[in-house]
Chains A and B, each alone.
Chain A
Amino acid sequence: LCVVYSGALKRNLSSEQVRADFIALGLSEEKASYFAEQWKLNSPALTRLAVGQTLMINQLVDMEWKFGVTAGSSELQKVGSIFLQLKLVIKKGGQMENVYMELTLPQFYSFLHEMERVKTSLESFS
């Protein structure tokens, strides 16, 4: 059953085609129709699952942040500048890798702006 359904998924078969396949494999008309119906009901969910399993390169899995104010340093007694620190958790192959970085405020706003542009782009293709 698994093999028939995953084959159907791979080839984007309609329920009619699935029914024909089952009959060709030797199932009775009634049973073939039943399984074809099941396929019709569940294929959207199965498709979504299969898409979800599609290969992703360095998938972003999580993002953490903190921001604060630099009060002083060994070179400057009073600083008062805002910093933003991001930690990205990336899935590389089977393992998780953490990437840490610091952004200035203008960089943060620029980053936010670019990500909003990406969202618009992704939405126009969905």
Chain B
Amino acid sequence: MAALREAEFGALQALLKAPSRDAVRQLCQESFSSPPAALGPLARRACPGLAAAPEEAAQLVSALHNLTRHVVYRGLTKPEDILALFPENFHQNLKNLLTKIILENVSAWRNEAQASQISLPRLVDMDWRVDIKTSSDNISRMAVPTCLLQLKIQEDAALCGNNPVVSAVTVELSKETLETMLEGLGRIRDQLSAVANK
């Protein structure tokens, strides 16, 4: 599967008009991180800096997005692999610059992709406290320890954009429930060790 279509590589040549290497670097990073829907506004912001027409900027930003995402998707880490993506007649210096920028960023980009993967809501924090119940409407005197556990759970980042929703669930566990839970967690730990040792 080719990384980009020929026309897209053509669009990348607009980078030759960029004011500096840093400008190119910044545009690469922003093009990778931006979701497809936000590429339009990004292109409009980049236009003036590149002295490019609006459609040229849009095609450039889209091509950068596709190229960087392709490299991250395939997990390419060697310079030769990235250089090989470009067509024969592509501008040498630009090719080397882009390869260098991509190599610098690829592991950060990979982490970014993994962090924003779809998933169930994620546990972000947990707190606990142990209370002693001393009396109730049924018994006037007792000393029963009980555990209150608060779990902070964050909804899927992709759904919430920049405002992740964190909800807190507070659960009460008796001693017996806790012991059963620990048994379950112990089994998970044993299974994980078995998988890790394979």
Q: Count of chain B residues with Cβ under 8 Å from any Cβ of A?
A: 58
Chain A, interface SS category? mixed
Q: Are A112 and B189 in touch, CB under 8 angstroms?
A: yes
A28 at the interface (CB under 8 A from B): no
**Are B178 and A122 in contact, with the CB atoms below 8 A?**
yes
- B130 interfacial contact with A, CB 8 Å: yes
Our pick among B139, B143, B177, B195 for the contact of A60 (Cβ within 8 Å) is: B177
Q: Are A57 and B139 in contact (CB under 8 A)?
A: no
Q: Indicate whether A85 reaches chain B with its CB closer than 8 angstroms.
A: yes
A65 to B190, CA, bound (A): 14
- Tally the A-B contacts, defined by beta carbons under 8 Å: 156
Which partner residue on chain A sits nearest B133 by CB separation?
A54
Q: Mark A67-102, 1 if CB is under 8 A from B, else 0.
A: 100100101111101111100101000000001111
Residues of chain A touching chain B, judged by Cβ–Cβ distance below 8 Å, are 6, 9-12, 47, 50-51, 53-60, 63, 65, 67, 70, 73, 75-79, 81-85, 88, 90, 99-103, 105, 107-109, 111-112, 114-116, 118-119, 121-123, 125-126
- 30 intermolecular pairs with C-beta atoms under 8 Å apart: A9-B138, A10-B137, A10-B138, A50-B139, A54-B136, A54-B142, A57-B172, A58-B169, A59-B174, A60-B171, A60-B173, A60-B181, A63-B181, A78-B75, A79-B117, A82-B195, A100-B121, A101-B122, A103-B123, A109-B189, A111-B126, A112-B185, A112-B186, A114-B128, A115-B178, A121-B130, A123-B175, A125-B130, A125-B143, A125-B145
